Amino acid sequence: MTTVTRFAPSPTGRLHVGNIRTALHNWMLARKTGGKFILRIDDTDAERSREEYVDAIRADLAWLGMLPDDEARQSERLAKYEEAFASLQSAGRVYPCYETQQELELKRKIRLGRGLPPIYDRGALELSEEDRAAKEAQGIVPHWRFMLDHDEQIAWNDGVRGPQKFDAAQLSDPVVRRADGSWLYMLPSAVDDLDMGITHVLRGEDHVSNTAVQIQMFTALIAARDETQQIPSFAHEALLVGAEGKLSKRLGSLGCDAFRERGIEPEAIIALLARLGTSLPIEPIAEIEALLETFELSTFGRAPAKLDDAELDRINTALVHQMEFSQVADRLPQGMDEAGWHAIRPNLAHVNEAGQWWALVTGPVDQPEFTQDDRAYLAEAASTLVWSDDPWRSLTGALKDTTGRKGKPLFLPLRQALTGMDHGPDMAELLPLIGEEEAHARLTKAATS
């Protein structure tokens, strides 16, 4: 059986790091077996959905390298939901309810006070046809609930959590349609999963009780269609938390736009999120094939997945140090060639810092004030500088012999004069990029200023 997964965001905002992780794991689950990954835009909430967010979702997935094999939009499938709703209505599995939010809240409090589960009491089922007609004559428009089979024990073997069991009698009949006719999440999602042949639903553990309800929905829809279709397999991964507990609002809202602004590479995000919450080590792995080889739901743990911003920076830095010139050439300062990239790469945490280091080559540089001894030393360096295949080692070797300096007194004044810094790229690689004329000018200036 071909694996078919889906990522179903609502276009009411930008993707955040939790959404990205869910999308990634569904994409990997499909790619692992040569299956199909579907992007489903859940845009039934016409009031809050925005087309710019649809475009942003597509762009973010493309930037991360997670191109879907197909795309669907719920707003284009409304007739399918009407058809499914009618079939469930004919089967007696949906029913109209007339309570206000205040009345429902009062009922919930009464049940809690009596030590009962705070679920809907099915009061609407006690209304007669005349009662319903009277309410509608008063202008009260019903919302609709799906009727669970309270005699059933709902069970499934979860891909992450193992065997799961729910007593349907302890669950509330979910509202599937609002009084204004608009749809809530549950029913359209189940209809889409069946119609699109979704084989695996992988999502956060906050959806576990939703899954229990939807399993009955799937069964009822299949029965109403008189089909023998299989319902999807389910897996619920642990939610993200911060390094010290609850995920902060800042971390939780991080999305691709924020990552790009910080100079985080998409490969770093993938490397971190692919294994976050699993028993596998988080490593700076740029090749998606290597991550796919080890991707298994059996490695996912039940403990909360700790998102550490510092770990993302660590992974990003390591991946930048692995990147070849061809991968970054179009993002580097004008004039920087492969030798320049190779020289400054070990000093970068983000590719967008390249310009700061390239300025050491293009100049001008701000030199520190030197002692009289160092100025004399730099004057000798200026007169000693002879260009060769390895000018740095030729210069420092000659100065070591003539001045007796070694270690820091030998190297540091030269670095400071040539770059204006106490640290930085390997001078053996940097000096040839600066060039003979400019190097001589910088040494002379340092010696005389």
330 backbone dihedrals φ, ψ, rounded to 5°: -75, 0
Q: Topology of 363-448 in CATH? A: Arc Repressor Mutant, subunit A (1.10.10)
- For tokens 């004044």, the residue is 413
Cα dihedral sign for 319, 320, 322, 325? positive
CATH superfamily of 240-320: Glutamyl-trna Synthetase; Domain 2 (1.10.1160.10)
Which residues contribute to the annotated binding site?
Answer: 249
Q: Which residues pair with 177 in a beta bridge?
A: 144, 183
> Tell me: the pLDDT tens digits for 79-97?
999 999 999 999 999 999 9
Please tell me if the domain spanning 240-320 has the same topology as the one spanning 363-448.
no
Characterize 14-39 residue by residue with b for buried, 16 or more Cβ atoms within 10 angstroms of its Cβ, and e for exposed. Answer: bbbbbbbbbbbbbbbbbbbeebbbbb
> Tell me: the pLDDT tens digits for 223-269?
988 777 899 999 999 999 987 777 777 888 889 999 999 999 999 99
Which residues contribute to the annotated binding site for ATP?
Answer: 249
- Rounded CA gap, 113 and 402, in Å? 93
Q: What are the residue boundaries of the structural domains of the chain, listed by start?
A: 240-320, 325-361, 363-448
Residue by residue, pLDDT tens for the chain (449 residues) are 799 999 999 999 999 999 999 999 999 999 999 999 999 999 998 889 999 999 999 999 999 999 999 999 999 999 999 999 999 999 999 999 999 999 999 999 999 999 988 999 999 999 999 999 999 999 999 999 999 999 999 999 999 999 999 999 999 999 999 999 999 999 999 999 999 999 999 999 999 999 999 999 999 999 988 777 899 999 999 999 987 777 777 888 889 999 999 999 999 999 999 999 999 999 999 999 999 999 999 999 999 999 999 999 999 999 999 999 999 999 999 999 999 999 999 999 999 999 999 999 999 999 999 999 999 999 999 999 999 999 999 999 999 999 999 999 999 999 999 999 999 999 999 999 999 999 999 999 999 98
Starting at the edge strand found earlier in the chain, the sheet holding 94-97 runs: 94-97, 143-146, 175-177
Burial of 372 (0-12, 13-18, 19+ CB in 10 A): exposed
Chain centroid to CA 159: 21
Burial of 66 (0-12, 13-18, 19+ CB in 10 A): buried
Contact 228, 222 (CB under 8 A): yes
